[in-house]
Structure 1
Amino acid sequence: MLALVFVNVAINYLDRANLSVAATQLGKDLDLSTKELGYIFSAFGWAYAALQIPGGIIADRFGPRILYAFCLITWSLATIAQSAVNGFLSLFSLRLLTGTFEAPSYPINNRVVTSWFPDNERASATAMYVSGQFIGLAFLLPALTAIQAYSGWKVLFIVTGLVGLVWGIIWYLFYRDPLDHPQVNKAELDHIEKGGGLFHGKKSGVDNPSLWRWKNFKLILSNRTLWGVYIGQFSLNATLWFFLTWFPTYLVKYRGIDLKQSGYLGSIPFLAACAGLLLSGFISDRLVKQGTSVSIARKTPIIAGLLLSIVIIGANYTNDVTLIIFFMSLAFFGVGMALISWVFVSILSPKHLIGLTGGVFNLMGNLASIVVPITIGHLITGTDFKPAIVFIGIVEFIGACAYIFLVGKAERISTGDDQSENALIFEQK
């Protein structure tokens, strides 16, 4: 099940990053200015961020099997349609559509991991599926740049879209929730449940519409620890969205690196991020199993990663390609370390509000997908990209401060509905 989610995430980010590979030539063909390109890069984020809360609610009310298949197929169709764009408006609209259909994806991912894994394995599981975005791009970026170089951006959108269409069918055929999987026995279900895993779907009663009330939104939006996590996630996504949007353009246009060479060099930071993520996840889970408090075990690698990512500013002080890639890779390694932050949704969320909390968390984080591409587009002056890199470093520092000063004890937020919710689940079992 985790392997299926891993591939979902890889395809998810493939269809976010294809535009960044196509951007240099596409911008010339469609006569787009730097500022217009910034808005195009941000278009995905407008819809994606706005629909995170609805996406979280949908993830709690419908099963991952059908919902994820629907999302994969529809966003892939929108990706294929981007091969036929003829200007700013049509491309902006289709990127909005792609963001719309991808919106429930991470709340679904979190729901799957919360269902299938006990607490002391969840950081590792989260690290494994989130690593799909880095491993997928690291190994596919050279292929994407080759397609772009030899066949053009239209073929690039068609190929990446077709991959998602096929995988949507595969997901539907093979994914099942724990209670529905024919190969899961009672011993495994007991192991997951005793370790804090939460079974979802109609059998557990969490899709009861009465649970979706304003006081639940107020609870999720008024907790200080959650706000620290929200701000931290925005900071992480700031660097992530730099790499998903402007990074190839930065290498080719502002550092003079050949397009095909940029595909290979550009894959190195993604591999570094993946290494940081996996290392952080396994170390964090090991600390928990050894008796370290959950707060320390989960927060320490996140804070260390955010502080490390500030070294991205070092790229401003060298013209050596090796050093540029080194600073970029080290910074992205730090971001990877901190990306186990999704585990805080499982730790902090009230049991019946996993999807809603995940939706708000992803909404706050993905505001960066709107702010960062546009801000960078405005900060670039002529051939000077340095102000944009400084901007990224400052945002990472703010994220580290949020975890240090706002994120308190890592424990589940209790609500007045917990007893009634548990009674409902017990009765339905």
Structure 2
Amino acid sequence: MTFEGKNGNSSDSTALRAFAPTLVLLVISVLINYVDRGNLALAAPLLKIEWRMTASQLGILLSAFFWTYTALQFVMGLFVDRWGANRLMAFGFLAWSLATVLTGAAMGFATLLALRLLLGVGESVMFPASSKIMAQHLPEHARGFANGLMNASMRWGSAIGTLGGGLLMARYGWRSTFVAIGVASLLWLPAWSRWKVPEAHGGAHVDVRRPSFAAILRKRTFWGAASGHFCANYLVYFLMSWLPYYLVHERNLSMAAMSVAAGALWVVDSLSSVATGTITDLFIRRGASPTTARKWAMAVGFTLAAVSLVGCAFAGEHTYLACLIACAVGSGTANAGTFAFAQTLAGPHAAGKWVGLQNGIANMAGVIGPALTGFLVDWTGHFAPAFAVAAVITLGGAFAWCMGVRRLEPVEFGIPETPSR
């Protein structure tokens, strides 16, 4: 199912209706993806007590997911092209769901480490495969809405996982919760088998420009965008990995209270992201340049988040929550334009390679951040230095997006055009 007609014709409407069940399943899969990658952070306070783990050991476990996930981002697009997006989506989903189930039976650090690595392998399929599917089956004028739903489901996955998973762990324990979530996730597979769109063969659009990976890596603008994305991810993964532990051990919240507070912060983050995207689009429609509109949003978001993180480092019992709420607003604002920048800079013919490289580099933040935070907490005995480091890196994101990316317009690669058929 590819699109050759003009925007808005009856063929498009019919095809979009046919694609709707697949889109719903992709949105659900992203939500489950973020529930499963974040649930170990919820169990961290319990693991520390039950297994007498140090913060450094927990940091290694929390970052291990990103070792395999990040490495495979650079090559997964090639696998998707060779073996098919639908098939790899199913295999990846099965792998990460089984890793979640088996985590409930883990008996030691080494087993849990291996399962986190398997989780990263399975989840690495998600975005290359879903992007391939949408590129094949959605026209340009429908991709903004579809990708908007996918992005929103990341935050809602974190919110639902934090609230629901935390409450389940508080009542039934972490082992039963992992098993229940993993088994429930497996119900997605028969739905995917039934309602996925058929694999597209032939009729694909021919790229008029095919820059190599080296051509992209030579662009200063790419490194500005990749650096900004890295800083944005460091903030998100810092909160995703360590917020539950911080709230329980440094702010003395119960597991139930922590789940409500952390879940609410992810809701604030998601609403801020949606609002920022809507407002910047509105300014652009009214005549503002994309460079001005989106760079201002980046500058405001990263700066607000950085200042709020510093506030968290020194906040008292009655002020830390306000600082965390402000940080969530800043995080949502800063992350709203991450892929919008990449898609505009790369253009339609280089977006796949550009986004793959940028996302791979950006996810190094998941490899570094959780482990570094754990070592800092063990070394100092509290979270203030970890918040300070996160604040400096977050502020660096504002400089990367605003100074590293000069203008928000398609990058010229200087590659001769290939005649289209």
Query: Which range, TM-score by smaller chain?
Result: 0.7 to 0.9
**Separation in structure 2 between the aligned mates of residue 202 and residue 418 of structure 1, nearest angstrom:** 24
Q: Output the amino acid matched with 2:265.
A: P
**Separation in structure 2 between the aligned mates of residue 220 and residue 355 of structure 1, nearest angstrom:** 11
**Corresponding residue of 1:272:** 268
Q: Output the amino acid matched with 1:316.
A: A
Q: Deviations over 1:146-191 (max 9, x none)?
A: 21122211112112212332123323432337xx7xxxxxxxxxxx
**Separation in structure 2 between the aligned mates of residue 352 and residue 123 of structure 1, nearest angstrom:** 17
**Separation in structure 2 between the aligned mates of residue 85 and residue 398 of structure 1, nearest angstrom:** 39
**Corresponding residue of 2:372:** 375
Alpha carbons 1:230, 1:364 under 8 Å: kept: yes
Q: 1:260 to 1:333 in 2, by over 3 A?
A: same
Q: CA deviation at 1:269?
A: 1.2
- Decide which moves more: 407-416 or 329-338: 407-416
Q: CA deviation at 1:307?
A: 1.5
**Separation in structure 2 between the aligned mates of residue 71 and residue 401 of structure 1, nearest angstrom:** 36
**Corresponding residue of 1:410:** 408
- Decide which moves more: 367-376 or 283-292: 283-292
Q: Output the amino acid matched with 1:345.
A: A
**Corresponding residue of 1:162:** 183
Q: 1:81 to 1:9 in 2, by over 3 A?
A: same
Q: CA deviation at 1:31?
A: 3.0
Task: Give the alignment of 1:21-420 within 5 angstroms.
Answer: 21-61=42-82, 63-112=84-133, 114=135, 116=138, 118=140, 125-176=146-197, 202-204=202-204, 216-310=212-306, 311-321=308-318, 323-339=319-335, 340-349=337-346, 351-380=348-377, 381=379, 383-415=381-413, 419-420=417-418
Q: 1:299 to 1:104 in 2, by over 3 A?
A: farther
Q: Output the amino acid matched with 1:320.
A: E
**Separation in structure 1 between the aligned mates of residue 188 and residue 416 of structure 2, nearest angstrom:** 38
Q: Deviations over 1:87-137 (max 9, x none)?
A: 111111110111111113223344455553536x75554343211122233
**Separation in structure 2 between the aligned mates of residue 261 and residue 398 of structure 1, nearest angstrom:** 33
Q: Deviations over 1:36-74 (max 9, x none)?
A: 111011000111111111123334555443332222121
Q: Between the two proteins, what is the percent identity of the paired residues? A: 28
Q: Deviations over 1:385-429 (max 9, x none)?
A: 110011111111111000111112223334566632x52xxx3xx
**Separation in structure 2 between the aligned mates of residue 272 and residue 337 of structure 1, nearest angstrom:** 10
Q: CA deviation at 1:337?
A: 1.7
Q: Output the amino acid matched with 2:271.
A: A
**Corresponding residue of 2:3:** none
Alpha carbons 1:60, 1:355 under 8 Å: kept: no
Q: Output the amino acid matched with 1:268.
A: A
SS of corresponding position for 2:212? helix
Q: Output the amino acid matched with 1:29.
A: E
Q: CA deviation at 1:205?
A: 5.9
Q: What is the total number of aligned residue pairs between the two structures?
A: 396
SS of corresponding position for 2:98? helix
Q: 1:94 to 1:256 in 2, by over 3 A?
A: same
Q: Output the amino acid matched with 1:281.
A: G
**Corresponding residue of 1:184:** none
Q: Output the amino acid matched with 2:203.
A: K
**Separation in structure 2 between the aligned mates of residue 256 and residue 304 of structure 1, nearest angstrom:** 31
Alpha carbons 2:80, 2:128 under 8 Å: kept: yes
Alpha carbons 2:63, 2:367 under 8 Å: kept: yes
Q: Output the amino acid matched with 1:118.
A: E
Q: Deviations over 1:175-210 (max 9, x none)?
A: 337xx7xxxxxxxxxxxxxxxxxxx86431669xxx
Q: CA deviation at 1:358?
A: 1.9
Pairwise CA RMSD of aligned residues?
A: 2.6
Q: 1:290 to 1:45 in 2, by over 3 A?
A: same
